[in-house]
Amino acid sequence: MSGVNAGRVGAFLTSAPELTLPETVRDAALRCLVDWMGVAIAGSHESVTQAVLRYAGYERAPVHGAADAEKAALANGTAAHALDFDDTHIPTDSHFSAVIWAALLAVARPEDSDGGRLLQAFVAGYEVAAKLAGRRVGFSLQFRWFHPSGVLGHLAAAAAVAVYRRLDAEQAAHAVALAATQAAGLRGTLGSMAKPVQVGRAAMNGIACARMAAVGVEAGFDILDPEGGFINAFVQDGTAQLAALEEGELGADWAVLRTSFKPYACLHGIHPSIDAAREITVDLKNVVAVRVHVAPGVKQVAKFSVPETPLQAKFSVEYCVAAALTGQQLGAADFTEALLRAPEVQRLMERIEVVPEAGRKMLDSAVDVELTDGTRVRGETALSRGHPGNPLSWEELEAKFVDLSTPVLHEQTAVLFAALRNFDYPDAVRQVAVLLEASQKRLDG
- Listing DSSP states for 103-151 in one string gives HHHHH--GGG--HHHHHHHHHHHHHHHHHHHTTTHHHHHHTTTB-HHHH
Which CATH number is 268-381's, of 3.60.15.10, 3.90.650.10, 3.40.50.2300, 3.30.1330.120?
3.30.1330.120
d(CA 427, CA 110): 9
DSSP 8-class letter at 365: E
DSSP 8-class letter at 94: B
Is-contact 169 13, C-beta < 8 A? yes
| pLDDT for residue 445 | 54
| pLDDT for residue 154 | 98
| pLDDT for residue 325 | 98
Annotate 12-50 with three-state secondary structure.
HHHHHHHCCCCHHHHHHHHHHHHHHHHHHHHHCCCHHHH
| pLDDT for residue 113 | 79
| pLDDT for residue 443 | 63
d(CA 88, CA 98): 9
Whether the model pTM is above 0.85: yes
Is-contact 330 323, C-beta < 8 A? yes
| Per-residue b or e along 229-259, where b marks 16 or more CB atoms closer than 10 Å to that residue's CB | bbbeebbeeeebbbbebeeeebbeebbbebb
Amino acid at 165: R
Fold for 4-260, please state it: 2-methylcitrate dehydratase PrpD (1.10.4100)
d(CA 23, CA 257): 11
What are the start-end ranges of the H helices in 134-270?
137-142, 148-164, 169-182, 194-214, 229-234
| pLDDT for residue 2 | 76
Domains 4-260 and 268-381 share a fold: no
Question: 100: closest CA among 116, 120, 85?
Answer: 120
- What are phi and psi for residue 88, nearest 5 degrees? -140, 140
8: alpha, beta or left? (left if phi > 0; alpha if psi -120 to 50): alpha
Domain segments of the chain as ranges:
4-260, 268-381
Chain centroid, CA 61 distance in Å = 17
| pLDDT for residue 413 | 96
| pLDDT for residue 439 | 76
| pLDDT for residue 444 | 61
Is-contact 367 305, C-beta < 8 A? no
Is-contact 292 365, C-beta < 8 A? yes
| pLDDT for residue 110 | 85
| Per-residue b or e along 43-60, where b marks 16 or more CB atoms closer than 10 Å to that residue's CB | bbbbebbbebbeebebeb
* Sequence-separated (6 or more) residues with CB below 8 Å from residue 252: none
3-state percent breakdown (helix, strand, coil) of the chain, nearest 5: 60, 5, 35
Is-contact 158 206, C-beta < 8 A? yes
The residues with which 290 forms a beta bridge, in sequence order, are: 352, 369
Question: Along the chain (445 residues), what's the average pLDDT of each consecutive run of 10 residues?
Answer: 90 96 98 98 97 96 92 98 97 97 95 90 98 96 96 98 98 98 95 97 98 98 97 96 97 97 97 98 97 94 95 97 98 97 98 96 95 97 96 98 95 95 93 86 62
d(CA 354, CA 350): 11
